[in-house]
Amino acid sequence: MSAPRTARHAAPSKRDPARAGRSPLRPDIQALRALAVALVVLYHAGLPTLTGGYIGVDVFYVISGYLITGHLLREASRGGRIAFGAFYARRIRRLLPAAMVVLVATLVAAYFVVPPLAMPAISADGRSAALFFSNIRFGINGIEYLGNQDPSPFQQYWSLSLEEQFYALWPLLLALVLLLARRSGSLRRYLTITFVAVFVISLAVSYELTGYRQPLAFFLLPSRAWEFALGALVGLLPSTPAWLRERWVAGLLVIGGLAAVLGTAFWLNGDSQFPGVIAVLPAAGTALVILAGPTAPRSVISVLSLRPVQWVGAISYSLYLWHWPLLTIPVVGTGRGLSAPARTGAVIAAVVLAYGTYRLVEQPLRGNPLLSRHRRNTYGFGAVLIVAACAISVVTAGLPTLSAGRSAPVLADPATASQLTATAYVPDNMTPTLRQASGDIPTLYATGCQANFAEETAKGCATADVSSSNIMVLFGDSHAAQWFPALKLIAAARHLKLVTFTKSACPSVSLSVYNKLLVRNYTECTVWRRDAIAKINALHPNTVIVSNYGVYDDGSNGDTQYQSDWGRALATTLAKLGGAAHRYVIADTPHFDYEIPICLSAHLSNTAHCDKPENSVIDPLHRTTEEAVARTAGYNYIDSTQWTCPRGTCDTVQGNVLMYRDQQHLTATYAQRLSGVLGSAMTTTAS
């Protein structure tokens, strides 16, 4: 994110559009930057009570809107137009060197530290950061259910990308307004109308998009532009009102603004509907400080001017860039976070690196005579930095050989669970390969039969023996869909028509769930489930199979209230389904806290590093609750752990087959191999 130069504390004066934000050295703005970066860094470092520290980014956006708009308007007042070339050259010298230094250092460190299979995605994130569209990439990936990844070491670049997009578009908008105003002679009116329009429209987009696709609202410019516009509006105020010239009033506004920022940071959390409308609180608090800072009493400004505060504000840009990779790179692919001492050490290291980057990179290059003498030198320098960063990202994406160099016996369709044998290494004949694992999914996804987040109508896709009048129904979420490859073979062998009703992240149990990816209640799931049950009953199926992911709403091992709620919800669904002749509930599969393919890529010769004891990845209370409810409702319960954890340890490779495509879903290849034992279990339990 940008950290424009600070401004000198000035006496109150009248303002005009061409002089908005004119003071280049204001300690109150520098203090705001220090507060903003401290909130973000401490939030990411896991300070327990600071659950909404991410709002520090919103503080930066309001500051940028205020200072950048003022700078552009002053430039226009002096030269009669906005000098786009000079403006973008200054932005390049200010932002690009530090950003590319941290980006390259992150790529190199990740290459030597993280599991090999994680590098292609990390390198792609690095390229998107270098080309300033990482916010778009993260926004899209944030709603991709199959993109089950660790936080990217480049995730902090989303805000820089968004801000660069603002810098690309905002001068063009101002130039258009200046052109219109030149014809009518009413610059302030046109600017005010424009900024208010951007504020209102963008805030409305933020509200609507947050309730519909929160990651898009969080990461994309259309739902964030109002924060920049708010800063611009503060700079447009025609004069300092009489009431604001009273220093005690200005002091209260500064304190109140800071309190609004801090209070929001401690009040919000990761489940808050953000940005939405609640982002107005920290943004308005920031605007109040900027507005009242010039007339605030010396007692207030002296606190904000303390040398440590100003120092943190000065290094805030580099500190923001450095802290995140230091906190994330050591734990990529492990499913663990850093310990408290390690997080403290990472923050200290980030401060040291930020100061070094500020002194050795930011300051020298910002005013470098060779670069500033001719704009083409700056543009050439920036192009070299971007191309070099992209080239390094391509090189680091290359994968080594991801096998132990030995073959394993081919896993045939086993007749019994006792024939399943774990392989202690990653074989070179493994299927799917580690590279292919994420794409080894049921064909339901490719055919559009797996309902996405937005769908509320249950389609009911038919396969296997589609001419048969005997119908087998599969009903549930993606953990039901993972059994489709096996059930399709079973249905075909038994001359059944298999009809699937599956929806991502939507359990078939009658439970209202909170969707963490959408960051809201999953209302589409409730509507879809109701429609699916009605359509299943209308089919009068011969066989009904229900299966679900078991850890919605933060349900965890030993959570008796959650299991009680789940049991009641499952009983409700089973009671609503018609009386099929054959009825089954398939137990859930293990939930690892790391992605299995990534873990295996770091332990090619010893897969035991990625295996887990059964009770650490399967909640025995959940299994007991679900089985009791199923049997009470007249359903047969099939315990899938006999195949995933046949000896009390949940394996990751059996024979030459990779069992998981991510943290919790079976590969389609492994599910297909289980058609024999699943079919036998269905025959046995039904007899």
3-state secondary structure 434-476: CCCHHHCCCHHHHCCCEECCCCCCCCCEEEECCCCCCEEEEEE
Model pLDDT for residues 323-355, shown as the tens digit of each residue: 999 999 999 998 888 999 999 999 999 999 999
Taking 90 as the threshold, does the pLDDT of residue 184 lie above it?
Answer: no
**Range of weakest confidence among 137-151, 507-521, 647-661, 662-676:** 137-151
User: Looking at residue 686, what is its pLDDT?
Assistant: 53
User: Looking at residue 10, what is its pLDDT?
Assistant: 39
Would you say 440 and 668 are in contact if contact means Cβ atoms under 8 Å apart?
Answer: yes
pLDDT band (50, 70, 90) for residue 141: confident
Task: State the number of CA atoms in the 13 A half-sphere of 206 facing the CB.
Answer: 22
Looking at the chain, the whole-number percentage of residues with pLDDT higher than 90 is 80
User: Looking at residue 7, what is its pLDDT?
Assistant: 36
Would you say 42 and 50 are in contact if contact means Cβ atoms under 8 Å apart?
Answer: yes
pLDDT band (50, 70, 90) for residue 148: very low
| Mean pLDDT value across residues 72-85 | 88
Would you say 594 and 532 are in contact if contact means Cβ atoms under 8 Å apart?
Answer: no
Model pLDDT for residues 230-251, shown as the tens digit of each residue: 999 999 886 677 777 789 999 9
Gap between the Cα atoms of 38 and 319, Å rounded: 9
Taking 70 as the threshold, does the pLDDT of residue 144 lie above it?
Answer: no
Is 552 or 252 the better-scoring residue by pLDDT?
252
Taking 60 as the threshold, does the pLDDT of residue 18 lie above it?
Answer: no
pLDDT band (50, 70, 90) for residue 529: very high
Looking at the chain, the whole-number percentage of residues with pLDDT higher than 70 is 94
| Mean pLDDT value across residues 280-306 | 95
pLDDT band (50, 70, 90) for residue 457: very high
Round the average pLDDT of the chain to a whole number and report it.
91
| Mean pLDDT value across residues 419-430 | 95
Taking 50 as the threshold, does the pLDDT of residue 15 lie above it?
Answer: no
Taking 50 as the threshold, does the pLDDT of residue 623 lie above it?
Answer: yes
Gap between the Cα atoms of 158 and 395, Å rounded: 22
Q: DSSP characters for 178-230?
A: HHHHHHHT-HHHHHHHHHHHHHHHHHHHHHHHHHH-HHHHHH-GGGTHHHHHH
CA angle 137, 597, 563 (to 5 degrees): 85
Is 3 or 303 the better-scoring residue by pLDDT?
303
**Range of weakest confidence among 100-109, 238-247, 276-285:** 238-247
Which 3 state secondary structure label does DSSP give 153? coil
User: Looking at residue 687, what is its pLDDT?
Assistant: 43
What's the longest Cα–Cα distance across the chain? Answer: 89
Pairing outcome for strands 471-476 and 543-547: parallel
| Neighbour count for residue 384 (Cβ, 10 Å) | 11
* Contacts by residues 368-376 (CB-CB < 8 Å, ≥ 24 positions apart): 368/93, 371/93, 372/89, 372/93, 375/85, 375/86, 375/89
pLDDT band (50, 70, 90) for residue 22: very low
| Mean pLDDT value across residues 293-302 | 93
CA angle 324, 325, 331 (to 5 degrees): 105
Is 151 or 475 the better-scoring residue by pLDDT?
475
Q: What are phi and psi of 620, to 5 degrees?
A: -65, -30
| Mean pLDDT value across residues 94-104 | 97
User: Looking at residue 556, what is its pLDDT?
Assistant: 53
pLDDT band (50, 70, 90) for residue 19: very low
| Mean pLDDT value across residues 286-311 | 95
Would you say 250 and 292 are in contact if contact means Cβ atoms under 8 Å apart?
Answer: yes
| Mean pLDDT value across residues 163-172 | 96
pLDDT band (50, 70, 90) for residue 558: low
Single-letter amino acid code for the residue at 622: H
Gap between the Cα atoms of 28 and 265, Å rounded: 19
Report CA-CA distances (Å) from 384 to 54, 165, 381.
Answer: 32, 20, 5
